[in-house]
C-alpha cells in the first residue's frame, strides 16, 4: 500500500545499511519498493515527534494555535534547551532541514558553532542556535517570537518534573559541571532525582531578556557582553560576526525515493552513500538475520565513514563536491571495494577528540503542519552538557572537539571554521506517491549506521514503523560488533568465523533515539514513531 511504502522508507533511512547479495558483478540499481503497514494515522494532519513529551506538547500547542512547522520548531528548540539541558540549548547550535511545502525543494539552515577568530584551539565554539532560530523564523515564521519563547519561559520558571534520563545525565557529568553555578541541578549536593521538580530561574530570566530585546541581543547586546565577559575564548566580535549558513541539501535516491539531508560539514553525504550502496547490493533480497547482512552493512559503513575523512569539511574553507559524492556512480565505486566474505583492512574512522570520546549528545525532532511544511532538525552541545560551563543559566558547547587531530586534514582547526559533525537531519520524499518522511537521530558517530538500519527494517520487513524502531540494533566498528540484545549462538559463531569480536552492549544512549513522522496519500494522513531508548514521543492530530 502507498501508506506502507512511505513508512517503510522512512525507517529505512534511519537504519544502518548492512546487506549482502552475490558478487561485485551483481551490483546494479534496484526497483522501487512498495510497502504498507498498519499505523495510527490522522487525515490532513499535523504532528510533532521528539525525545521529550514536554517539548512535544509545546510544539503541538503552537500548531493548534495557528503556527506553522517552523514556528513550532523554534518553540520546540528553546523548550528542549530547558527540559534536556544536556542535549542542546542556546549555548550550542544545530542544523535544520525545512521543506516549505509539497513540491518545493528543502532548504538547510546550518547554525552550528564556529571557531573563534582568535585562532586559539579552545573547546567552545561561537554558539549559533539563537541566530539560527532568528533567521529561519524571519524566512518562514508566522507567529511572533515573543509568543514562541513564552512556553520555555514558563517551563523554566515554574519548573517541570525531572525524568530518570535527565537525573542520570546530571549524575554522570557532575565531574565536568561547575556545581556552584548549577547548584539547582544538585539539591543537597546530589544530582536531582527523577520525580523531583527542576526550576531554572536564571535561564528563565535569560529567555525573558531575549523575549523583550530580541534574539539578536545574544550577538550584539547585553547578553553578548555577558557571554564574552564570562568566557574569554568567545569575544563580542566573534558573536557579532557570526552568520547562519543557508544552503541546498545533499541529495540522493533510495529505492525510488528522493533523500534530502544536511550537507557538509555534517553527515548527510555519508548517509546517502550508505543507502545507495545498500541498494546496489539489493538489500531487499538479503536475510537480515544473517551474518552476511551484518557484515555487509558494516563494510558499507567503513567505506562511507572513511570517505568522509578526506572529502567532508566546512565548504567555506575547502571545496566539497557534494553532487559527485552523492551520485549513484560514486556510491557504486565505493560498493565495489567491499568483499562480501572478508573483513576489510582496518579503516580510519575516528580522527577527532569527540569521536574518540564518544560524544553522542544531540537531540532530534520532526514537525509537520497541515499545509505540508516539514521540519527535521538536530540540535547539539556536542558532549553531554557541552563544556560543562554554565553562563546565565545555560551551558556552553564544546563543539570544537569535532576538529581533526590531524593538521593535514581538511577538517583541521582554523579560525571561523565549523567542524565536521555526524548529525544528519533527513527528509525522504516520493512525489509520485504523495509521500514525505522526516527522520533523524542523536548518537554521535553512530548516527548514519542507526538511520540506515531502521530504514531497512521499516522498508523491507512486514512490520510497523514503531516495530522497526524498537527492533534490536547493532553497530560495527572495525572488527568489533556491538549488539543490543542476545542473538542466536549460530549467528554469533558465524560472525566470529568472519573475524569479528561480538559484544553484547545494552545501553539506551549508545544506539541513538530515532524520531520520525510521515505524511502520505490523497488524505495527507500523518503517522509516526518515536524511539523509546531516549523517551521518544510522537503526537499527531487531524482535521477529522
Q: Is residue 109 within 8 Å of 34, Cβ to Cβ? A: no
362 an active-site residue? yes
Contacting residues for 76 by C-beta, under 8 A, at least 6 apart: 48, 50, 55, 56, 58, 59, 365, 367
Q: Which of 242, 236, 228, 230 is nearest to 418 (CA)?
A: 242
Q: Is residue 255 within 8 Å of 30, Cβ to Cβ? A: yes
| 108 three-state secondary structure | strand
Burial readout 252-275 (b: 16 or more C-beta within 10 A, e: otherwise): bbbbbbbbbbbbbbbbbbbbbbbb
Grid coordinates representing 172 are 554522570
Distance CA 323, CA 325 (A): 6
Could you tell me how many helices (H) and strands (E) the chain has, helices first?
18, 21
Q: Which of 315, 389, 393, 301 is nearest to 349 (CA)?
A: 301
The strand pairing partners of 540, in sequence order, are 47
Distance CA 477, CA 170 (A): 28
∠ Cα 303 305 308 (to 5°): 110
Strands 394-395 and 250-254: unpaired
Strands 245-247 and 250-254: unpaired
Contacting residues for 199 by C-beta, under 8 A, at least 6 apart: 156, 157, 158, 159, 184
Among the listed residues 95, 114, 362, 378, the single catalytic one is 362
Distance CA 91, CA 103 (A): 35
Distance CA 516, CA 437 (A): 7
Catalytic residues: 362
Amino acid at each position: 500500500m502507498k501508506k506502507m511504502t512511505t513508512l517503510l522508507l522512512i525507517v529505512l533511512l534511519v537504519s544502518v545499511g548492512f546487506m549482502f547479495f552475490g558478487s561485485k558483478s551483481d551490483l546494479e540499481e534496484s526497483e522501487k519498493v512498495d510497502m504498507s503497514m498498519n499505523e495510527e494515522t490522522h487525515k490532513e494532519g499535523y504532528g510533532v515527534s521528539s525525545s521529550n513529551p514536554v517539548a512535544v506538547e509545546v510544539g503541538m500547542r503552537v500548531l493548534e494555535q495557528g503556527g506553522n512547522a517552523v514556528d513550532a520548531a523554534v518553540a520546540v528548540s528553546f523548550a528542549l534547551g530547558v527540559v534536556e539541558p544536556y542535549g542542546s540549548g542556546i549555548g550550542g547550535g544545530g542544523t535544520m532541514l525545512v521543506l516549505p511545502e509539497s513540491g518545493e525543494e528543502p532548504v538547510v539552515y546550518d547554525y552550528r558553532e564556529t571557531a573563534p577568530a582568535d585562532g586559539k584551539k579552545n573547546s567552545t565554539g561561537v554558539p549559533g542556535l539563537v541566530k539560527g532560530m532568528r533567521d529561519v523564523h524571519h524566512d518562514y515564521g508566522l507567529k511572533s517570537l515573543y509568543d514562541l519563547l513564552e512556553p520555555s519561559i514558563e517551563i523554566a520558571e515554574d519548573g517541570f518534573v525531572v525524568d530518570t534520563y535527565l537525573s542520570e545525565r546530571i549524575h554522570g557529568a557532575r565531574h565536568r559541571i561547575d556545581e556552584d553555578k548549577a547548584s539547582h541541578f544538585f539539591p543537597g549536593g546530589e544530582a536531582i532525582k527523577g520525580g523531583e521538580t527542576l526550576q531554572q530561574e536564571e535561564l528563565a530570566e535569560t529567555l525573558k531578556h531575549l523575549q523583550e530585546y530580541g534574539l539578536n541581543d545574544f550577538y550584539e547586546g547585553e547578553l553578548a557582553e555577558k557571554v564574552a565577559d564570562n568566557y574569554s575564548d568567545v569575544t563580542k566580535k566573534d558573536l557579532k560576526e557570526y552568520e547562519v549558513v543557508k544552503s541546498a541539501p545533499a541529495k540522493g535516491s533510495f529505492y525510488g525515493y528522493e533523500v534530502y539531508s544536511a550537507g557538509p560539514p555534517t553527515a548527510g553525504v555519508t548517509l546517502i552513500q550508505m543507502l545507495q550502496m545498500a541498494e546496489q547490493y539489493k538489500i531487499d533480497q538479503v536475510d537480515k538475520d544473517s551474518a552476511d547482512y551484518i557484515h555487509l552493512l558494516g563494510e558499507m559503513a567503513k567505506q562511507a565513514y572513511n570517505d568522509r575523512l578526506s572529502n567532508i569539511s566546512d565548504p567555506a574553507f575547502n571545496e566539497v563536491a557534494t553532487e559527485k559524492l552523492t551520485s549513484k556512480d560514486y556510491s557504486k565505486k565505493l560498493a565495489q571495494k567491499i568483499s562480501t566474505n572478508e573483513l576489510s583492512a582496518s579503516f580510519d574512522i575516528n580522527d577527532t577528540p569527540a569521536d574518540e570520546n564518544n560524544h553522542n549528545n544531540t537531540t532530534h525532532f520532526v514537525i509537520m503542519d497541515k499545509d505540508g511544511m516539514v521540519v527535521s532538525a538536530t540540535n547539539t552541545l556536542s558532549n553531554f552538557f557541552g563544556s560543562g560551563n554554565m553562563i546565565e543559566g545555560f551551558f556552553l558547547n564544546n563543539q570544537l572537539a569535532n576538529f581533526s587531530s590531524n593538521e593535514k586534514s581538511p577538517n583541521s582547526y582554523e579560525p571561523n571554521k565549523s567542524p565536521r559533525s555526524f548529525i544528519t537531519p533527513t527528509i525522504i520524499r516520493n512525489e509520485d506517491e504523495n509521500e514525505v518522511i522526516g527522520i533523524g537521530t542523536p548518537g554521535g558517530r553512530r548516527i548514519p549506521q542507526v538511520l540506515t538500519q531502521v530504514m531497512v527494517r521499516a522498508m523491507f520487513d512486514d512490520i510497523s514503523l514503531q516495530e522497526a524502531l524498537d527492533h534490536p540494533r547493532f553497530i560495527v566498528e572495525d572488527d568489533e560488533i556491538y549488539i543490543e540484545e542476545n542473538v542466536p549462538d549460530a549467528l554469533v559463531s558465524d560472525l566470529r568465523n568472519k573475524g569479528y569480536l561480538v559484544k553484547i552492549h545494552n545501553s539506551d544512549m549508545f544506539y541513538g533515539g530515532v524520531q520520525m513522522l510521515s505524511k502520505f496519500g490523497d488524505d495527507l494522513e500523518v503517522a509516526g514513531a518515536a524511539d523509546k531508548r531516549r523517551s521518544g514521543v510522537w503526537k499527531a492530530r487531524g482535521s477529522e
